[in-house]
Amino acid sequence: MRGNGLILILGALALTGSFSRGQDLSNETFEKEITRSLELRYLLSLPEGYQSDSGKKWPLVVFLHGAGERGDDLNKVAQHGPPRRVKEGVSFPFILAAPQCPADAWWTEQPVLELVDHLEKTYRVDSSKIYLTGLSMGGYGTWHFATLAPGRFAAVAPVCGGGVPYKMRWISRLPVWAFHGAKDPVVPLDESERLVEALVKAGNGKAKLTVFPEAGHDSWTEAYQNPELYKWLLSHTLESAQ
């Protein structure tokens, strides 16, 4: 037994000695060029006067639809929200872009921010007045892209969406107007409530939530029919873009 103990002690000393010499750490870099194609089909509405006044820049509103409008039929995108309002004859004083999410995909997987960059380069967009809004799955997408690019939008309006509360600290200065139905059986009201509460705790004094007492999942009809929503969006300017 004593012999075995000696062997173990000697082995431990040998192992300790091997570590005591230390190892070098070197700085290395992995680099690989990856090329991929990005595509989002979208509906576009240019405001009255866009063509006649070539020197004017316009606000941009990007609308993200819900899960039911995914696919390859762009007509489905105009079923709800601002695109529907345009189809009904409402004239908006801003450029409206409404992309379509592919079937069985989610907004978080889509190049929405790249689309915003494209629109900004292609059309006469006022960089200080870019806004994001969306309903249901698009409401989740609105929260997601707002926190992913905190300095990209002047204001956002998520409708019956949800997200991650701790990420709200990243948009503590972003104006947010959220909407939800009190009787929503698909996305519980708590999804919006906890995010707005987190925003307030993070010091966001520009966050508010409107709850429609009798609305179910369809809180977007009342939200997007309210002209105050568009006035509120357009009242905000991204200071860093000026």
Spatial contact of 110 and 134, defined as CB atoms under 8 Å apart? no
User: Tokens 């870019």 identify what position?
Assistant: 130
Contacts of 166 (CB under 8 A, 6+ apart): 198
pLDDT in tens, 166-184: 999 999 999 999 999 999 9
For 106-127, what is the HEC assignment?
A: CHHHCCHHHHHHHHHHHCCEEE
pLDDT(17) > 80: no
Question: Confidence class of residue 216 from pLDDT cuts 50, 70 and 90?
Answer: very high
Gap between the Cα atoms of 186 and 104, Å rounded:
18
Q: What is the reported pTM?
A: 0.86
| pLDDT tens-digit readout, 18-43 | 545 678 898 898 888 877 778 899 99
The CA distance from 55 to 229, in Å, is 27
In whole angstroms, give the CA distance from residue 127 to residue 99.
Answer: 19
Which of helix, strand or coil describes residue 208? strand
CATH topology of domain 37-241: Rossmann fold (3.40.50)
